[in-house]
Amino acid sequence: MNRRGNGDASAPAGASPLIELDRIGVAFNAQLRVGSPRFWALEDVSLTLAPGDRLGVVGRNGSGKSTLLRTLAGIITPDRGRIRRAPVSCQLLSLALGFVPHLSGRDNAILSGLMLGLRRREIVARLPAILDFSELGDFFGQPISSYSTGMLMRLGFSVAIQVDPDVLLIDEVLAVGDTDFQQKSGDALRARIHGGKTIVFVSHGDAQIRQVCNRALWIEHGRSMLDGPVDDVLAAYHAAQAPAAAAASG
Amino acid sequence: MRLHLFELTLFSTYAELRAERARSYLGLLWWIIEPAMNMATYYLVFAVILKSGGPDYIAFLLIGLTLWQWFKSCVSHGGYSIWQQLPLIRQVKLPLQVFPTVQILADTVKFLCILALLLVVLWCSGYPPNIAYVGLLPVLLVEMVFVAAATYVVAAVVPLVPDLRFVIEQVLQVVMFLSGIVFSLDGVPENLRRWFVLNPIVELVDAGRGILMHGQWPNWFALGRVALISLALYAFGAFLIERLTPRYVKLPT
């Protein structure tokens, strides 16, 4: 299991990397049948994550971005290649993890917090902050089966933002909920990101990547194509899409 | 780290019991009503209709069903626990033993409530407590290990072969009939008897009935044998879950 390390706000030059992926491959079974063919969600991906990096991951749907995030989190073990990790905690930003419908918002917050790795006294101490951030008021003690979708998202995000792993992995979600909460959740997450946290951020939104990240990685068919400054990678990614787009419309 | 898992397991058990109470109108009453209905059915068939119960049949049946139901509910609920939580384990890294353990703990809480009721019923119907009750603790502990062992093995295999869901209920039903729960195994021919004795449930239920109905101490040798089998099976189940964990997250959704 990952132990908590101490992240640096500014990574000194030559700081040892937090995670190194060396030509990793991840294979899935296509079907639940004996001897069914495997397909390789990741074929050959290499990357190095240094402390304080804010890495954006771009690629088409099905290129392996989510699988990459889960591999970084330690949820998926690669079938090929090597991973080297420093003793740091890596978590996916997971909303509404493990929520049980018939329990109150309060109990679900504790349950979710425990699943995300917090100790009980830690999550209980943060309950007022969660209640406050989610603006649920009296609903906090009601079963979440009575919540609207927006309320569920608010509770889910308020809990998730309490977890502070050394490496935060974000799968496209930068903000949730209705207009007001979008602003609030987006601000909270951006504060976390720009506070020196190491993050890996998968997104289809160029503007968001440029805003958030200092590096980018382009994944295509499970292979790392280009790893470098955000503008270069985005340019190369879009250049590769252009002929396909032209062919589709032509 | 270990303490964190302990806290997660305990709170999840509380959550499971709480949710169960909220899911039905009568809530916790079903913990009593359902086994009572079950017992009434078997009593009707075996004692009233078939008249094959024998003396002390009610006590015989109640003890057998109580001890059996604990095993059956844990294997049924815990056996599916990992498979049902596959979406969750794709989001966060957790030791998967937590899931069957939570189900086992929740079902054990229910069992203890029913056991308390059983003891009261027995005391009121001519089977007073006796010194052999001390032997009840080792019997229950051994059954707990056996229950956990069977549950872990089933929980480990079901995600990879979900078809087993259809088979498990049938297999459990057959095992129940072969374990002397609802009718005595005294009528089994001698040459088959030794196969039946291999079933750990037979020994556990025998020991329970001996203590509660006749004030007899358990057969320590047989109980010890069951304990060893259970421990080995438990280790195997835990090992299976750990080894198969990387495969579960890669299963097709």
Residue type present at position B58 = I
User: What is the distance between the alpha carbons of residues B40 and B50, in angstroms, rounded to a whole number?
Assistant: 14
Q: Which two tokens stand for residue A172?
A: 């496209």
- Residue-wise pLDDT tens digits, B76-124: 999 999 999 999 999 999 999 999 999 999 999 999 999 998 998 899 8
Cβ-proximal residues to A222 (8 Å cutoff; 6+ apart), any chain: A25, A26, A40, A41, A42, A43, A44, A45, A63, A64, A67
| d(C-alpha A140, C-alpha B161), whole Å | 40
Reply yes or no on whether the pLDDT at B19 is more than 50: yes
Which of A39, A80, A100 is the best substitution to test chain B (most B C-beta atoms within 10 A)?
A100
Q: Which amino acid is at B2?
A: R
- B11 interaction partners in chain A (CB closer than 8 Å): 110-111, 114, 120
Helices marked H in B136-219 — which ranges?
136-157, 164-177, 190-197, 200-214
**Residue B4, min C-alpha distance to chain A (Å):** 6
- Beta partners for residue A54, in sequence order: A199
Residues of A in contact with B23 (CB under 8 A): 102
Q: Compute the nearest-CA separation of B152 from chain A (Å).
A: 21
> Which residues from chain A sit within 8 angstroms of residue B250, using beta carbons?
26-29, 76
Nearest CB to A94: which of B19, B92, B251?
B92
pLDDT of residue A248: 64
% of chain B with per-residue pLDDT over 70: 98
- Residue B253 CA to residue B249 CA, distance in Å, equals 9
C-beta atoms of B92 and A31 within 8 A: no
Q: Please state the rounded mean pLDDT for residues B218-227.
A: 92
CB A103 to CB B15 under 8 A?
yes
In our burial notation (b when 16+ CB lie closer than 10 A, e otherwise), range B126-140 reads ebeeeebeebbeebb
The reported pLDDT for the residue numbered A2 is: 39
Helix (H, G, I), strand (E, B) or coil at B235: helix
The closest CB to that of A119, out of B4, B89, B250, belongs to B4
**Residue B251 touches chain A, beta carbons under 8 Å:** yes
SS3 B212: helix
Partner residue opposite A31 with nearest CB, options B22, B249, B252: B252
User: How far apart (Å, rounded) are the C-alpha atoms in residues A81 and A62?
Assistant: 21
What is the spatial distance between Cα B81 and Cα B236, in angstroms, rounded to a whole number? 18
pLDDT at B37 over 70: yes
Q: Do A117 and B22 touch (CB under 8 A)?
A: no
Q: Provide the whole-model pTM.
A: 0.88
Sequential pLDDT tens for chain A (250 residues): 333 334 334 444 556 888 888 899 998 877 666 667 788 889 999 999 999 899 999 998 888 898 999 999 999 999 999 999 988 889 999 888 899 988 999 999 999 999 998 999 999 999 999 999 999 999 999 999 999 988 999 999 999 999 888 999 998 887 788 888 888 988 888 888 888 889 999 988 888 899 889 999 999 988 999 999 999 999 999 888 877 666 666 5
Question: What gap in Å lies between CA A92 and CA A73, rounded to an integer?
Answer: 7
Q: In this complex, is the C-beta atom of B86 within 8 Å of any C-beta atom belonging to chain A?
A: no
Is B116 exposed, middle or buried, given 0-12, 13-18 or 19+ CB atoms closer than 10 A?
Answer: exposed
Beta-strand runs (E) in chain B: none
Strand partners, A44: A223
Q: What is the mean pLDDT of chain B?
A: 89
From the list B8, B246, B251, the residue facing A77 with the nearest CB is B246
B4 contacts chain A (CB < 8 A): yes
> Is B2 at the interface with chain A, CB within 8 A?
no
Mean pLDDT of B227-240: 96
Residue A201 burial (10 A CB sphere; 0-12, 13-18, 19+): buried
Helix axes B98-124, B200-214, angle to 10 degrees: 30
CA–CA min distance B107, chain A (Å): 18
Of B7, B94, B250, Cβ closest to residue A28: B250
The one-letter code for the residue type at B36 is A
How do residues B131-171 score in pLDDT, each as one tens digit? Answer: 889 999 999 999 999 999 999 999 999 998 888 888 998 99
